[in-house]
Structure 1
């Protein structure tokens, strides 16, 4: 069955110890005798290339290789490279049928190639079934998946689970539309506002492959600008791929592409479409009927033919980071595609990530920005309220909003809607004693108490209600809010402005758009709806809650969320005003006031270069029990320039809360170590970690160890 193992070996428990040496030699390319295939069943084989090399769908590292199977004569026509197949695999289940031995249970896989001979000298098991004659795994997609697996120390099977959507038989039977001719080159449109915008479009239309880090001007024009970049790429006869953070954003780009190019020229790949429709769209892309794709994270693997442009919008959004193994980031996958396919690359956002700044700093990409005068014309006026102002403000002591914020709301409501951004959802997510400021905790489990609605206290951990709370420190009975949620803020604003409608947008219910009529729109970060004609004003409350997170990216993330909300406000010339409640002297606040996210990212990059932090260095996180982490680190043959930081204890997973990737199971104490290497050693570190993890799995070590390359949070 395998080029390394015989049939019945290599199941979930791994190959027997006596075969490990042979496996290692075959991986190194040692000379192994080739043989004509024989099968357990003795079935008639295909006359031409009777050996099928198969990737089995088992995402474990010690089985991350191809296995050889014999091709029965009756499956010869359908068993072509790229199709889905089913094979018998594993040592756990053997049976005898009609006097012939059949080994292992049925498992899905992909047929990678057909060969004349096998490296394995023993008898081969035959392909059990060709699931579908549709070739879904082409050479380009296979090469990309292998590159992603190597970069993230993962298995090829895990990457393909992310790259190839589940099959729908009805979608496969449906004929894809005929491809449309290339559209004419679009005019520059609002790209003319950028210093090199028209030249960027001209390069795409002429078949060039420019690489740019785009700092988009505030306002709604960004979606049309992406659509024009896609149209220019299609003009050259090539394909384009755009990856955005969520379905709402994808819908805006979809509408812009439809308005510019008409229907039938692009595919929308999002989870909202449903499995069958999404698979049909994916097939249309793979068959070449559609040359442009816009979609969310999973679309980063879309098999666009003759790829000419890959673009990612708002690459700092957490949604771009895949939560399933090996947890790739959409930006990095598109960077790999740009290198493998030698196509154009565009990373764009109203803000600017440190990774985008590094691409420009290294010379790999060019900046695509507007001049300062153009930025001033497009951006709203930003004003700040700091701790000193709050201390002197009677209104701020009596309520949460300072006088400047009340004034901005009143003036904004005269001409349109006002946006209020609150860092926390819910009513009162955090409470404390009003007298001594001690956190309010549950008497049963010591979990934090929160107010789901007015007057009701509930434990965030165990869910029990608390009806007679008193402070164990000072005996007080009064509570105050440490952090006020979106619903409580909406309630307070509704009382202050009784004649104005109040709308909320958050995780439970996210609004897409709001009309231009005066209204208060209370939203959590990332859920801000788009207002027709733009918001008249915006309040960014509790800035300390975002800046106070103990994370390397807290300042960068806070600035990105603030700018994402402020970009929805009208320009200063139309009266647009933004009030941010945060200390004015802090660097992210100053960058917002000056509307200079690029300058902030460049300074962050310089500091991280001095300290050796990502993205300048490559880093991996290893987490598990203390014994498992120590054993794993001892087995890793890290590059000579690798540095181990830690291990340190991980915060426990709270009861009733979802478990984060890499976090310990509830009730267990884990540790995490960070391994850091300088530029140029990232591939060697990933290979060493993958080898150590594969050996650990092959031995059947009981304690789990989680490995993640480039963790988004290093705390």
Structure 2
């Protein structure tokens, strides 16, 4: 955290005052100490008359604290952690004829009160205290700084994510009195896991166990999360659970209410609305509520005496924030577990490579069930590959194999049947025509593409790949892995005219369906819960998901399939899943064996050999070609950094909405990937942050965007 505390000034570009600020910011110049006594003739606070403020200006060259004078009338309210308004900008501290010049009002957080300042001139004063409610604790400030440093971002940007906007009506209402700790819960379904009961006992006893939990399929995981929270509350500590979306937050909310009753936990989701959400957040900050369940923004919830942080389904893209500096929930909760020395629980029906790495490193222990328990809870999985489709007359005529139709007919006799169909927009990746092994670059192992349908080119480093051959089978012919045809509800309705067909997707997502025969067509992630479980499920067009040009394509496909298959009844109850994909592929075999951990471990070993994340750290630098080249050349990268690229980015179509990180419409941008081995990630982030701060201080007009560990580097 910067120790330089300068008076804010942001004059017009090129002026002498701006140059002085740049010199002080970049070089860390010191000035003689002075203690302010008055401001515009008004008396200042008698004790600790200097307020150190973090202004809400999320630019890296101003990522530091600024000193302001505290007028006597604001002395009582201007306490550490409160929101303030200050003058910031050109002329913020210049006085002419007894009046303050320039400087617009801007929000900020009061970090601390001090007796002296390092600034040599007359300090500008706090304009006013927005609210006497302290919303930023020292613990949250330390966490925000750690997140900013890890992702090469500014503290102000992280605080924007961590502290919700103020709502006056919510703030004026008192929070309820805290309830006494509940009794420790019974293990219940946690007993199905080898160390499940011991994990709860450790939490209830005040311990800080760390576990990667591979949950059994079925409806029990919300109750199991609730019991982990209850065990933590029983020790007199707080707990935080982060889930990908509001639907799953509602399930954990219902489980917590059923187990503990009302008033012991808060729900922090966007669906709550700004007033209710801020009221709940305040109840947590004030210590009235010790447990929180919420979506991504809840990762910063100010839970007091934190005893457990938990994340469900860490592979879901919703856990990656699309606002600078782009933190991921899993990484933030790891930081919280380390800083607060509390328990950590990463759970899901599948297993990410990052989760496998936590276990392999010894940072967390595995928490899973035995094979007998898995076989009893998981459905029977059957596959249909290319050879089966080629021999199947029904598949050629109706675009579905006979095995799938048979599974649907049998399932509809016993209950609802789920049909998972990939979304539109899955771009194909090149692979060996014979064995389907993805085509990779010989230099950096990035995915190969054929932009002009003739010459192969790496999507990471941009090198050509003449004379390519498959490293597995020696084949020399490539194919674009097929994008599956969309099975619509109308098509299924024509085949099964007497059966209700329901859809769940982007426009309308169903929460649940009743336990009666029906066809439920859903896109990945939008599958509704079936009362009593689905009788069967079809996972169609598997190559559309395996063929995505992304490092995580196989891992993501398996996660989506297992999420859907987990909603199907167990094999002992006749539950069946049919997947249309080549059975020899690693993710398909992992689904058949119901072995997500084994798949993640093999992926981790392969990525370690090839230098892929999460074993290595990667940063993406994007912008116009000249700006990116200049930035990389002057960034002072670690000596072991590897530069991959540049490669051009797709031009943003003016006909579609821009996503975060997309180039401006019509502009041609390039991307460079910077890869470093284990142990150099912090050095890479620091170098990029320093270079970006210096560049912004110089007033360079061409934007350059930095993203540490981008979720998609295909």
Distance 1:340 1:117 in 2: 30
Residues 38 and 122, structure 1, Cα contact 8 Å, conserved in 2? no
Q: 1:39 to 1:386 in 2, by over 3 A?
A: farther
- Per the alignment, in what secondary structure is the counterpart of residue 700 of structure 2? coil
Cross-structure match for 2:172: 173
| Shift, 1:121, TM fit | 1.0
Q: Tell me, yes or no, if structure 1 residue 628 matches structure 2 residue 622.
A: no
Mapping of residues 28-427 of structure 1, within 5 Å? 32-37=31-36, 41-91=40-90, 99-424=98-423
Shift of 1:655: 2.5
Deviations 1:670-697 (A, max 9, x none): 1111111111111111111001001111
Q: List alignment gaps of at least 5 residues for structure 1.
A: 431-480
Please give the alpha-carbon distance, in whole angstroms, between the structure 1 residues aligned to 2:36 and 2:145: 27
Q: Does the aligned pair in 1 maintain the 2:244–2:295 contact within 8 Å?
A: yes
Question: CA, structure 1 residues 351+13, in 2 after alignment: closer, same or farther (shift >3 Å)?
Answer: farther
Q: CA deviation at 1:282?
A: 0.2
Indicate how the Cα distance of structure 1 residues 7 and 663 shifts in structure 2: closer, same or farther if over 3 A, else same: closer
Question: Which one is further off, 699-708 or 290-299?
Answer: 699-708
The CA RMSD measured in Å over matched residues stands at: 2.0
Three-state SS of the structure 2 residue aligned to 1:229 is helix
SS in 2 for 1:702: coil
Q: Please report the TM-score for the alignment, with normalisation by the length of structure 2.
A: 0.90
- 1:550 Cα offset (Å): 1.1
| Counterpart contact for 1:425–1:506, Cα < 8 Å | no
CA shift, 1:241, in A, is: 0.2
Q: Is the 8 A contact 2:483 2:541 kept in 1?
A: no
Contact in 1 for aligned 2:543/2:581 (Cα 8 Å) = yes
Does the 8 A contact of 1:267 with 1:285 survive in 2? yes
Structure 1 residue 42: Cα displacement: 3.1
Q: Separation in 2 of the partners of 1:482 and 1:681?
A: 39
- Match in the other structure for 1:22: 24
Alignment-derived partner of residue 597 in structure 1: 596
CA–CA separation in structure 1 for the residues paired with 2:5 and 2:372? 65
CA contact (8 A) 1:8 1:103 kept: no
Given that 1:38 and 1:123 are in contact with CA atoms closer than 8 Å, whether structure 2 keeps it comes out as no
* Cα pair 1:3 1:120 within 8 Å, conserved: no
Offset at 1:23?
Answer: 2.6
For 2:485, the equivalent position in structure 1 comes to 484
d(CA) in 2 for partners of 1:502, 1:580: 20
Please give the alpha-carbon distance, in whole angstroms, between the structure 1 residues aligned to 2:558 and 2:13.
Answer: 46
Does the CA contact (< 8 Å) of 2:622 and 2:706 recur in 1? Answer: yes
Asked whether the equivalents of residues 629 and 672 of structure 1 are also in contact (C-alpha less than 8 Å), the reply is yes
2:526 maps to 527
Q: Name 2:615's counterpart in structure 1.
A: 616
Going from structure 1 to structure 2, the CA distance change for 1:429 and 1:207 (only over 3 Å counts) comes to closer
Structure 1 residues 8, 705: CA separation in 2 closer, same or farther (over 3 Å shift)? closer
SS for the counterpart of 1:145 is helix
Quote the Cα distance in structure 2 between the aligned partners of 1:302 and 1:423. Answer: 34
Deviations 1:504-551 (A, max 9, x none): 000100000000010000000000000000000000000000000111
Moved more, 662-671 or 145-154: 662-671
Alpha-carbon contact 1:39-1:124 (below 8 Å) kept: no
Q: Are the counterparts in 1 of residues 6 and 65 from structure 2 also a CA contact under 8 Å?
A: no
- Per-residue deviation, residues 89-120 of structure 1 (Å, max 9, x unmatched): 00178998984123301000000000000000
Separation of aligned partners in 2, 1:311 and 1:691: 33
2:432 alignment counterpart: none
Q: Deviations over 1:618-677 (max 9, x none)?
A: 110000111010000011011111111111111222222222332211211111111111
How far, CA to CA, are the matches of 1:289 and 1:654 in structure 2? 49
Aligned counterparts of 2:652 and 2:386: Cα–Cα separation in 1: 34
May I ask how many residue pairs the two structures share in their alignment? Answer: 658
Q: Is the 8 A contact 1:36 1:116 kept in 2?
A: yes
Q: Secondary structure at the match of 2:318?
A: helix
Alpha carbons of structure 1 residues 584 and 482: separation in structure 2 relative to 1, 3 Å: closer
Distance in 2, Cα, partners of 1:18 & 1:643: 36
Shift of 1:13: 8.6
**CA shift in 2, pair 1:10/1:78, >3 Å:** farther
Larger mean Cα displacement after TM superposition, 641-650 or 8-17: 8-17
Task: With the length of structure 1 as denominator, give the TM-score of the two structures.
Answer: 0.90
Distance 1:179 1:12 in 2: 53
SS at structure 2 position matched to 1:16: helix
SS in 2 for 1:91: coil
Q: Is the 8 A contact 1:243 1:295 kept in 2?
A: yes
Measured in 2, the distance between the counterparts of 1:97 and 1:515 equals: 74
* 3-state SS of 2:638 partner: coil
* TM-fit CA distance, 1:9: 4.1
> 1: CA distance between counterparts of 2:372 and 2:423?
35
The answer to whether the 8 Å contact 1:205/1:234 transfers is: yes
Q: Is the 8 A contact 2:349 2:563 kept in 1?
A: yes
Q: Distance in 2 between matches of 1:401 and 1:333?
A: 44
CA drift at 1:380: 0.1
Q: State the distance in 2 between where 1:213 and 1:8 align.
A: 48
For the structure 1 residues 625 and 328, does the alpha-carbon distance in structure 2 shift closer, same or farther, using more than 3 Å as the test? same
Kindly report which structure 2 residues correspond to 1:391-470, keeping only aligned pairs within 5 A, or say none: 391-424=390-423
Q: Does 1:693 align with 2:692?
A: yes
Distance 1:535 1:550, change over 3 A: same
Provide closer, same or farther for how the CA distance between residues 483 and 586 of structure 1 changes in structure 2, counting only shifts above 3 A: closer
Q: What is the distance in 2 between the residues matched to 1:16 and 1:96?
A: 18
**Distance in 2 of aligned mates of 1:689 and 1:300:** 25
